[in-house]
Structure 1
């Protein structure tokens, strides 16, 4: 399970920000991964999921050069053991010069051989373009909402915690919309991503798993399954073109009694 929130400030004249993204990656604690870094062969900023078949995929990637961001959300239905890597879809997208519409056409055959997913994409030129594509329904959608929240369900059937987090993000971004407030903004976004408040009832989640209560919070922790939220990522893009990328990631080996969180930061002027 993962969760993603975003704010697009193109039409908010009071805000200094064009785009704000806050994301949690949930995964097995013992699945091998590398912290976010600058991939020198492609100028992409991303972590690496070493547990993927090719070890070259990720859950979130940013290309400052191409002004693209991609996030992969798992849709946990009918997983196949022989499926191709979904994480490659994120890195391939941000490294190419194609629009999302053109890119999806090139992947028509590939996505039939992966497990189900939602790919959320951002193209941040003069204005921000937000799209979702899911191979569950083969549907590409464009979103014009100021605040959005997506998790491990179809985009138009959000989990209750995604709706609650979206409302919380709207409040945060309405109060902390100046560059001078950046540190407080980051701290409140992290507080949102670390929230263990359950968001129930949620029939969509309850229909999916008997463990729905443990998955009903934004921050997930299931010690007995060695599974939970491993990484927080925050992306801040000002209207003047300054880009901050901040990752907080729990380090392996994961000791839940004394977790070691490492913070990594990148800055770019576009």
Structure 2
């Protein structure tokens, strides 16, 4: 029987442990969870350290690239939609790279997160989900008949001075996939 993965992120945020220590402490717990990719960002001396851990291969990986994309696949074997999303992310971030362009940046990032274009062929996705690969091949997923899909978008912006903006856009309850109502919440604070 599988157990919830939900507490993993909440417990990590509450802890003051480095990600490597935290992952080592929860490995026994994660063995009983469905497969997942956990992404963390630690700030060390003003430089972000981005890491990912998957219980599918039990590996904690540090990412050095400037532009990274994550999805429902191992980071070293991204789905086609993740590769396309990463390329579009790079384009957006190199175009809207000034603090004064923040609203345009956020608007473009939301467009990316709601991107419905199919990214096929994708052999990995077709192999993993032969009956649903077409529906799952876009960044934004909506499968009303299965009551499955993207329900929340989160954007985290951090300036060089440590000012953080968190924008969360989530479907309001009751969730209606055919006519979603979106609620936007924003938080700002300094690290």
Is 1:167 paired with 2:94? Answer: no
Give me the whole-angstrom Cα distance separating, in 1, the residues matched to 2:51 and 2:176.
37
TM-score by length of 2: 0.95
Is 1:129 paired with 2:49? Answer: yes
Task: Give 3-state SS (helix, strand or coil) of 2:49's partner.
Answer: strand
Gaps of 5+ in 1: 1-81
Task: Measure how far apart 1:84 and its partner are.
Answer: 2.0
Give me the whole-angstrom Cα distance separating, in 1, the residues matched to 2:175 and 2:67.
33
1:92-111 correspondence to structure 2 within 5 Å? 92-111=11-30
User: Is the Cα contact below 8 Å between 2:144 and 2:178 reproduced in 1?
Assistant: no
Runs of 4+ aligned structure 1 residues displaced above 4 Å come to none
Name 1:217's counterpart in structure 2: 138
* More strand per residue: 1
- What is the aligned counterpart of 1:157 among 69, 72, 77? 77
Give me the whole-angstrom Cα distance separating, in 2, the residues matched to 1:206 and 1:243.
38
Give me the whole-angstrom Cα distance separating, in 2, the residues matched to 1:108 and 1:250.
32
- What is the aligned counterpart of 1:120 among 36, 39, 45? 39
Task: Give 3-state SS (helix, strand or coil) of 1:113's partner.
Answer: coil
1:6-17 correspondence to structure 2 within 5 Å? none
Listed one character per residue, the Cα deviations across residues 70-101 of structure 1 (whole Å, up to 9, x for unaligned) are: xxxxxxxxxxxx22221111111111111111
Give me the whole-angstrom Cα distance separating, in 2, the residues matched to 1:261 and 1:167.
26
Give me the whole-angstrom Cα distance separating, in 1, the residues matched to 2:32 and 2:114.
34
Name 2:120's counterpart in structure 1: 200
Task: Measure how far apart 1:254 and its partner are.
Answer: 2.2
* More helix per residue: 2
Name 2:157's counterpart in structure 1: 236
Give me the whole-angstrom Cα distance separating, in 1, the residues matched to 2:103 and 2:142.
26
Give me the whole-angstrom Cα distance separating, in 2, the residues matched to 1:250 and 1:136.
29
Is 1:254 paired with 2:175? Answer: yes
Task: Give 3-state SS (helix, strand or coil) of 1:268's partner.
Answer: strand
Task: Measure how far apart 1:257 and its partner are.
Answer: 4.3
TM-score by length of 1: 0.68
Name 2:189's counterpart in structure 1: 268
Give me the whole-angstrom Cα distance separating, in 2, the residues matched to 1:90 and 1:218.
22
